[in-house]
Amino acid sequence: MASVLIRPATEADMAFIFDAWSESYRESHSAGPVPMPMYRRHSREWIAWYLDRPGVRIHLASNAEDTRYEYVDEETGETWQGGAAIGEQIYGFLVSESAVDHRTGKSEPCIHYCFVKQPFRRFGLAKALLTEAGINPKLPFIFSHKTAQATKLLRKGRLPGRFSLYGRFPKKATQSKEIHEAQASDVQGRVVPDGQPDPAFHEPGGP
């Protein structure tokens, strides 16, 4: 494949990110029982929630070559243009942030979503995206979306990450020391003040 450029996402990339994230996650078991006619609207709302979180970083893998061309019809004289400028053809993206558990003070990478187009998989693009984001896939991390691929790797013992509900809570709540201190008396770690589930790192029961 062509050489790859890893770059930060821009406003012009948002339409692709929303569509690719929403459609690739649509049939995931972890997407929940949202009826398909409602899925697109609801998915765009929660995708925006993750993208708007303070500290979230979005990296894109794109074509590092300029593939623009111009074709002139010899009979009509009409001119046609195609291809894409450097960085415009997107192969995939990574949405991540740094998460802190105030009970331990430890910081771990949190991967919200990683997507690579089907024709460009198995070329190391996901690894390149993780590297650019400063994430070592061989070290512990958490992830907020349990995709079919993530589940498969977990079962094979090939994914050092663990699923967490961290990203489902406001950044302020997940970083609240008071919330975590209130959890000290709750062995199960499931309820915090105001009836909210524990936003700290934990893995819910069930598949």
For residue range 125-158, list pLDDT tens digits in order.
Answer: 999 999 999 999 888 888 989 888 888 888 888 7
Fold of 4-166: Aminopeptidase (3.40.630)
Question: Of 103, 173, 107, 172, whose CA–CA distance to 135 is shortest?
Answer: 107
Q: Domain ranges in the chain?
A: 4-166
pLDDT tens-digit series, residues 70-124: 877 778 878 877 777 788 889 999 999 998 765 667 788 999 999 999 999 999 9
Question: How confident is the model over 85-94, as pLDDT tens digits?
Answer: 788 889 999 9
Q: What does pTM read for this prediction?
A: 0.75
Pairing of strands 4-8, 57-63: antiparallel
The per-residue pLDDT for range 168-197, each reduced to its tens digit, is 887 664 444 443 443 333 333 333 333 333
User: Does the pLDDT value for residue 14 go beyond 80?
Assistant: yes
CA 187 to centroid of chain Cα atoms? 30
Q: Given pLDDT bands bounded at 50, 70 and 90, which one contains residue 199?
A: very low
